[in-house]
Structure 1
Amino acid sequence: MKPYLDLRHLQLIQAVIETGRITDAAEKLGVTPSALSHRLREAERRLDVQLFTRMHKRLRKTPAAEYMSVVADRILSDLTRAEEDVRRMNAGIHHVVRLSVEAYSNYRWLPAFLKYLKSHTTGIDLQIMAGGNLNPLTGLMNRNIDIAVVSGVPAQAGVTAVHLFEDPLLFIMAPGHRLAGRDYVEGTDIVDEPFITYTKVPEPDREFARLFRPTETYPKWTATVELPEAIVELVASNLGTSVLAGWALQTALKEGRIIGVQVTQEGITIPWSAALRSEDADPDDPIRIVADHMAEWCARPGCGLHVT
Structure 2
Amino acid sequence: MKPLLDLRHLQLIQAIIETGRITDAAKVLGVTPSALSHRLREAERRLDVPLFTRMHKKLRKTPAADYLAVVAERVLSDLSRAEEDVRRMNRGIQHVVRLSVEAYSNYRWLPSFIKFLKTRTEGIDIQIMAGARGDPLTGVLNRHIDIAVVSGNIAQAGLGSLALFDDPLLYIMAPTHRLADRAFVEGTDIEGEPFITYTKVPEPDREFARLFRPTDSYPQWAATVELPEAIVELVASDLGTSVLSSWALQAALKEQRIVGAQVTQEGITVPWCAVLRSEDMVEDDPIMLVAELLAEWCDMPDSGFHSM
Normalising by the smaller structure, the TM-score range is 0.7 to 0.9
Q: CA deviation at 1:245?
A: 0.2
2: CA distance between counterparts of 1:275 and 1:158? 10
Q: Secondary structure at the match of 2:267?
A: coil
Contact 1:3 1:46 survives alignment (8 Å) = no
Could you list the per-position Cα deviations for residues 62-87 of structure 1 after superposition, in whole angstroms to 9, with x for gaps in the alignment? Answer: 42544443433332222212222232
Which residues of 2 match residues 176-191 of structure 1 at below 5 A?
Answer: 176-191=176-191
**Map of 1:60 onto structure 2:** 59
**Map of 1:201 onto structure 2:** 202
Contact 1:16 1:59 survives alignment (8 Å) = no
Could you list the per-position Cα deviations for residues 141-166 of structure 1 after superposition, in whole angstroms to 9, with x for gaps in the alignment? Answer: 55443322222343556654433223
Which residues of 2 match residues 141-180 of structure 1 at below 5 A?
Answer: 141-156=141-156, 159-180=159-180
Could you list the per-position Cα deviations for residues 94-123 of structure 1 after superposition, in whole angstroms to 9, with x for gaps in the alignment? Answer: 222232222222222222212221232112
| Structure 1 segments unaligned to the other structure (5+ residues) | none
2: CA distance between counterparts of 1:30 and 1:277? 36
2: CA distance between counterparts of 1:279 and 1:51? 34
Q: Structure 1 pair 220/49, CA: closer, same or farther in 2 (3 Å)?
A: same
Q: Structure 1 pair 266/38, CA: closer, same or farther in 2 (3 Å)?
A: closer
Q: Structure 1 pair 60/282, CA: closer, same or farther in 2 (3 Å)?
A: closer
2: CA distance between counterparts of 1:55 and 1:279? 44
**Map of 2:93 onto structure 1:** 93
**Map of 2:125 onto structure 1:** 125
Q: Provide the TM-score with structure 1 as the length reference.
A: 0.83
The letter for the 2-side match of 1:202 is: E
Q: CA deviation at 1:53?
A: 5.2
The letter for the 2-side match of 1:203 is: P
Q: CA deviation at 1:52?
A: 4.6
Q: Secondary structure at the match of 1:270?
A: strand
Contact 1:149 1:274 survives alignment (8 Å) = yes
Contact 2:77 2:144 survives alignment (8 Å) = no
Q: Secondary structure at the match of 2:122?
A: coil
- What value does the CA root-mean-square deviation take over the aligned residues? 3.1
2: CA distance between counterparts of 1:251 and 1:305? 12
Q: CA deviation at 1:272?
A: 1.9
Instruction: Spell out structure 1 runs of 4+ moving beyond 6 A.
Output: none
**Map of 1:239 onto structure 2:** 239
Alignment length (residue pairs)? 306
**Map of 1:307 onto structure 2:** 307
Q: CA deviation at 1:259?
A: 2.2
**Map of 2:284 onto structure 1:** 284
